[in-house]
Structure 1
Amino acid sequence: MAAHPPPSGPTNRLGQEPSPYLRQHAHNPVDWFPWGEEALARAKAEGKPILLSVGYSACHWCHVMAHESFESPETARLMNDGFINIKVDREERPDLDQLYQGVVQLMGQGGGWPLTVFLTPDLKPFYGGTYFPPEDRYGRPGFPRLLASLHDAWVNKQSEVQHQSRLFEEGLGELAAYGLDAAPGALSAEDVVALGRGMAQQVDPVHGGFGGAPKFPNPMNLSLMLRAWRRGGGAPLKDGVFRTLERMALGGIYDQLGGGFHRYSVDERWLVPHFEKMLYDNAQLLHLYAEAQQVEPRPLWRKVVEETVEYVRREMTDAGGAFYAAQDADSEGEEGKFFVWRPEEIQAALPPARAELVLRHFRVTPPGNFEHGTTVLEVAVPAAELARERGLPVEEVARELAAARQALFTVREQRVKPGRDDKLLSGWNGLMIRGLALAARVFERPEWARQAAAAADFVLGRMWDGARLARSYQEGQARIDGFLEDYGNLASGLTALYQATFEVKYLEAAEALARRAVELFWDAEKAAYLTAPRGQKDLVVATYGLFDNAFPSGASTLTEAQVELAALTGEKRHLELPEKYVGRMREGLVKNAMGYGYLGLAADSLLDGAAGVTFSGTREAVAPLLAAANRVYSPTFAFGWREPGTAVPPLLKEVFEGREPVGGRAAAYLCRGFVCERPLTDAEALARRLVAAPGGA
């Protein structure tokens, strides 16, 4: 559903589009086009420049600009008279977004959404920015003034505009291949430790997280810090990660009543978030908190994982089993309205003593900590401190708080909910499948693996035909050819799902996706992966999937999947491209670890030589071995299982050959570099061995 119900009245072309974001603009007086042949042909035929506006349905500032500018008849007239106006959902076309974000970067700005870029009819950019206000403010020109100025330049100074566009095209070409001219090198374990230590120096020593406000969770870089800790990088690495995870879990960035994480915090202490909830954030954080549980079990990690999985099940799961893309920041036209509280609302919902407890626990006060005297809930006074203050057992206070949270959640459910973007994106589903699969193993929750499997079955059944993976599924229709991130993320998710279910169909699908991804995206000359399928016609510059940003690059997740496929199948050929690609990217990774966090994870696994453990024995017999292995932090090891006496799938023939129970007991075969150690039959001995490799912490 749209976050902002559009007014009644005539619709423009976007009313026919499946994307909820595009439909949010269906009643604008702007003569919008979706990106496609009609719009591009019209620009050429009329000799008009293109105004390209890129955003997504849960983006707060996209809504602000839409209300201020795109709903204004006067502004719409300037847009319609001077430009061909094209609206793009960045979640449908990440390649276009990546390319044209480069314009803003070349102009010395930070990028972001809404993205506003002006193009010549042949798609070369000549000006860009993000949010523009309706009149001059925030150091930005007013949008109507900007439109008039650019229209005048196009009509009266077109040669200058064309010259500018050629410079931008050259700059975008350099940006797209940035770092690919570096000499290949070999990444070492010492490099991984150095990467983690460099990141640790940027961690806020009080609140955790990287840098100051605004503060993003950045889960892949935190995960890489744990990898560096595992390789002997020292306690400060683990401490920095745990401080971050704890402060996030207790802060307003985490939904204290409904579970799940908001996009980011506008302050340095995780208190006030931008309230949108994205599938990819929650997928990665689910995985990271499960890893934290392996490193050092804590009730808080379990609570966060259980509540986040429940949030995803309740709010973000389609009837077919796949996962929705996002929830909006706004409801009833106000940011955060669904999530915030006033003291009197809590007092009306709870008995007096319990209300008093909750007001102190979450620090809900009349002035509030957000807009209009409202409060974003944070755990300000923990249960143990409340118990000491009241002379009560902490268990009793914890029970009171749990009952209060449930009561407040029930009241909140009666509010108007934020809009939800119900696109099913194959790559983002792959990330959530990966997170759920690990959480199912660590917390021994097979129903979570079934939840992941339902999503995988939907995507494989409706969006993958063996040769083409669709990017998006909506209203019964698979749409848009998949991009590198879709293939990489889904392949990574399916290798993780195999390890949670041992259903070989998921491993077979992962291998098929990885093989097809190489055919579509690998550029042998540059030893790197293209973002969009080779030969994509509507990109003025071909882009490469290099950087890991809010979500990982498809090159990074594909590399991870290839390393795991090598470990799980025993096939060395799966390591050929990871070795080439990690070697190609080594210099960039070492110089700019924060920009390649997920690639660092894949490279770390590659260093361990496609490490794997094959369990042999009946499911019942291997259960203690498997439980012990799942409890410990051994992130570079991939797990396979063979039941004796059953037919060996062709894909696993190499790795299952000769791996049988030992003396009638279930056995675990630990292998690295395609060489196996003597099998272990004792669960604790296996756990110790996994923790010790490659050198422990």
Structure 2
Amino acid sequence: FPPVRAYNRASWKEALHGVADAFKNRRDEIEEQANSLTAHLQNANSFGTEKILKIDLPVEELFAKDSPQQMVDAIMKQADKEWGGFGRAPKFPQTFSIRFLLQYHHYTGNDEALKQACLSLDKMCMGGIYDHVGGGFARYSTDTEWLAPHFEKMLYDNALLVIALSEAYQLTKNETYKNTITETLAFIEREMTSAENGFYSALDADSEGVEGKYYTWSKNEIDEVMKGDAELFCQIFDISEEGNWEHVNIPRLLISIDEFCKTHQLNVSETIQLVQKGKEQLLSARNKRIRPLLDDKILLSWNALMNTAYSKAFMATGDERYRQKAIENMQFLLMAFASTQSSTLYHSYKDGVTKHNAFLDDYAFLIQALLTLQEITSDTTCLTRAKELAQTVLDLFVEDETGFLFYTPAGEKDIIVRKKEVYDGATPSGNAVMAANLYYLGIVFNQPEWQQQSVRMTGALQQAITRYPVSFGVWSMHLYSLLEGFNEIAIVGAGFEAGRDSVNQKYLPAKIIQAALNAHDEFPVLAGKTPSEKTPNFFLCKNYSCLNPMVKIDDFLRILAVRYN
């Protein structure tokens, strides 16, 4: 509401007086509407979850074998095959659908799925939704071509895009994806990281009251900063006197730098050096502008997503800095967000103060981050902590009638309806992530009841997942993993670290990897796995039944390729 009446809209003060008058003089009508709305919310909250406890079938009987084909067909119907992405403007990154297409290509060799996934990432990396000067992605694009973003930068968007780019790089080794990961994480460390190794929430879209002012340029500004190099830089990034958006310029690539060099017969290496120098010069100039406001809350769920992104980036690139950042951030999260009174967590942190009991997403995303961090560190305390947190989730969040998970923990006050979120939104569905966590932990700790809980949750939603995979992207990936079956990878013996890191560089969905110097009876994947004397033994197993161990990493990777395809 405006501060004063305008454009036939009541002012904020008038709206408040209207509410007060209705509450006083039309109380019965207000309460009737409130009861009706509450009933509607409760009914909407039960979508797709009625039958979960009645399902108790083997995976191969529960899920149709053609489910992945149905899902990919549904996704491709919404695919923009010219500009990438899915649906019409405004266009969001839809990283879950992209990752499902990568998974589908991996299992089937389907080139169309890979092409659409890569087209989507390519166009975003080239477009104005990506900050070519400072790195990082904006929230969404207001147009079909990814030119004009809503300039707000969210931590979770950048985390989810780094995860998708890391998996795409594992599959394709496309250097554009690696470079974009590097620039995006450099932005996170430069502008979104606290001294305590937490990650801030967001950067505003506006500065000086104008959306995008911090990120846009006139050609004259670039000429002044870059001098003689400006003309070529402007050609590469679609920058002109008249501007490409509202009389100013949003840097973007209409074609890749390699294609530009080929068309204009330029040396690629020299051109890339010029572009890099120009980016650094423009970033230095931009740093003198009035910055957008920083939302410096540190949220557990979004931090956990970025922690997973750092682990995935390390897997893909082998850059040790990313592993170290994931370790440091996790140490901060486990210390700062833990309750001193119980095994529960808090949701937000700022200036040394934690607030609000953690939601389902906080637990689910943190467990996921712990599982991923263990895969790159072999720190088994990550697994035991993840198991403890999973038990807390089952104690505090489960709806007894369905087995699905509420968004809020038991005992919360002033909640009209305890909602259950099964759809993906801007962030993954906490129920979907938790279903994947339970299956993973069920294998790691030989707890088949957790695996069955995961299968039942997925089975109760399978019709919706299959019909609407864009809205159920994380569920889609988990359903596909259940159909294909999880592979258990154990690496045991001297030099296990290098072997683990080599395996992690490969794109391997639906896998559990544990590596150690010696066998561990506490963990079934490592139990009874004898090391060799000088090099590690590599074991590939399913349901704890293993092939003969291998000592050569190349042989093991070849077997993995066959097993997965």
What TM-score does the superposition give when structure 2 sets the normalisation length?
Answer: 0.93
Q: How many residues align?
A: 556
The 1-side partners of 2:332 and 2:301 are apart by 13
Check if 1:655 corresponds to 2:525.
yes
Q: 1:299 to 1:562 in 2, by over 3 A?
A: same
Q: Which amino acid aligns with 2:37?
A: F
- Partner residue, 1:367: 242
- Partner residue, 2:72: 196
CA contact (8 A) 1:180 1:584 kept: yes
Q: 1:386 to 1:191 in 2, by over 3 A?
A: closer
**Which range moves more in the overlay, 448-457 or 534-543?**
534-543
- Structural mapping, 1:126-141, within 5 Å: 134-136=6-8
CA contact (8 A) 1:349 1:407 kept: yes
The Cα offsets for residues 200-229 of structure 1, whole Å up to 9 and x where unpaired, read as 221101001111100000111211122222
- Structural mapping, 1:220-259, within 5 Å: 220-232=96-108, 234-259=110-135
CA contact (8 A) 2:318 2:505 kept: no
Check if 1:166 corresponds to 2:41.
no
**Equivalent of residue 685 in structure 1, options 546, 555, 558:** 555
- Partner residue, 2:301: 427
- Structural mapping, 1:148-159, within 5 Å: 153-159=22-28
> Is the partner of 1:594 in helix, strand or coil?
coil
CA contact (8 A) 1:568 1:612 kept: no
Check if 1:512 corresponds to 2:381.
no
Check if 1:436 corresponds to 2:436.
no
The 1-side partners of 2:264 and 2:105 are apart by 40
> What is the deviation of 1:452?
1.0
Q: RCO greater where, 1 or 2, for CA within 8 Å and sep 6 or more?
A: 2
> What is the deviation of 1:384?
3.1
Unaligned runs of 5+ in 2: none
Q: 1:358 to 1:579 in 2, by over 3 A?
A: same
Unaligned runs of 5+ in 1: 1-64, 76-133
- Partner residue, 2:140: 264
Check if 1:558 corresponds to 2:434.
yes
> What is the deviation of 1:456?
0.7
- Partner residue, 2:514: 640
CA contact (8 A) 1:621 1:666 kept: yes
Check if 1:356 corresponds to 2:231.
yes
The Cα offsets for residues 391-435 of structure 1, whole Å up to 9 and x where unpaired, read as 431211111111111111111111111111111111111111111
> What is the deviation of 1:591?
2.6
CA contact (8 A) 2:517 2:531 kept: no
The 2-side partners of 1:143 and 1:688 are apart by 66
The 1-side partners of 2:311 and 2:217 are apart by 35
- Structural mapping, 1:468-617, within 5 Å: 468-617=344-493
> What is the deviation of 1:605?
3.0
> What is the deviation of 1:199?
0.6
> What is the deviation of 1:275?
0.7
- Partner residue, 1:178: 47
The 2-side partners of 1:571 and 1:615 are apart by 22
CA contact (8 A) 2:518 2:529 kept: no
> What is the deviation of 1:302?
0.6
The 2-side partners of 1:152 and 1:667 are apart by 76
Check if 1:451 corresponds to 2:342.
no
CA contact (8 A) 1:293 1:442 kept: yes
The 2-side partners of 1:680 and 1:188 are apart by 35
The 2-side partners of 1:389 and 1:582 are apart by 50
Check if 1:671 corresponds to 2:541.
yes
CA contact (8 A) 1:567 1:611 kept: no
> Is the partner of 2:525 in helix, strand or coil?
helix
**Which range moves more in the overlay, 423-432 or 156-165?**
156-165
CA contact (8 A) 1:609 1:673 kept: no
> What is the deviation of 1:592?
2.1
The 2-side partners of 1:568 and 1:260 are apart by 35
> What is the deviation of 1:587?
2.3
> What is the deviation of 1:188?
4.3
> Is the partner of 2:200 in helix, strand or coil?
coil
Check if 1:346 corresponds to 2:222.
yes
CA RMSD of aligned residues (A): 2.2
CA contact (8 A) 1:633 1:691 kept: no
> Is the partner of 2:461 in helix, strand or coil?
helix
> Is the partner of 1:351 in helix, strand or coil?
helix
CA contact (8 A) 1:331 1:338 kept: yes
The 1-side partners of 2:418 and 2:28 are apart by 25
> Is the partner of 1:498 in helix, strand or coil?
helix
> Is the partner of 1:284 in helix, strand or coil?
helix
The 1-side partners of 2:308 and 2:468 are apart by 26
The 1-side partners of 2:182 and 2:275 are apart by 17
The 2-side partners of 1:348 and 1:555 are apart by 52
> Is the partner of 1:656 in helix, strand or coil?
coil
**Which range moves more in the overlay, 266-275 or 667-676?**
667-676
The 2-side partners of 1:539 and 1:525 are apart by 19
CA contact (8 A) 1:207 1:243 kept: yes
> What is the deviation of 1:566?
3.1
The 2-side partners of 1:189 and 1:253 are apart by 37
The Cα offsets for residues 237-293 of structure 1, whole Å up to 9 and x where unpaired, read as 111100000000000001101111110000011110001111111111111101001
Q: Which amino acid aligns with 1:507?
A: L
Check if 1:300 corresponds to 2:169.
no
Q: Which amino acid aligns with 1:365?
A: S
> Is the partner of 1:541 in helix, strand or coil?
coil
The 1-side partners of 2:381 and 2:538 are apart by 22
- Partner residue, 1:379: 253
- Partner residue, 1:103: none
The 2-side partners of 1:574 and 1:689 are apart by 29
> What is the deviation of 1:664?
4.7
The 2-side partners of 1:568 and 1:514 are apart by 13
Q: Which amino acid aligns with 1:463?
A: F
The Cα offsets for residues 423-481 of structure 1, whole Å up to 9 and x where unpaired, read as 11111111111111011111111220110111111110121246111001111111110
**Equivalent of residue 408 in structure 1, options 266, 282, 301:** 282
- Partner residue, 1:105: none
Q: 1:524 to 1:677 in 2, by over 3 A?
A: farther
CA contact (8 A) 2:496 2:517 kept: no
> Is the partner of 2:303 in helix, strand or coil?
helix
> What is the deviation of 1:309?
1.2
The 2-side partners of 1:642 and 1:472 are apart by 35
CA contact (8 A) 1:200 1:236 kept: no
Q: 1:594 to 1:385 in 2, by over 3 A?
A: closer
Q: 1:231 to 1:521 in 2, by over 3 A?
A: same
CA contact (8 A) 2:440 2:451 kept: no
CA contact (8 A) 1:196 1:233 kept: no
The 2-side partners of 1:285 and 1:571 are apart by 32
The 1-side partners of 2:496 and 2:362 are apart by 37
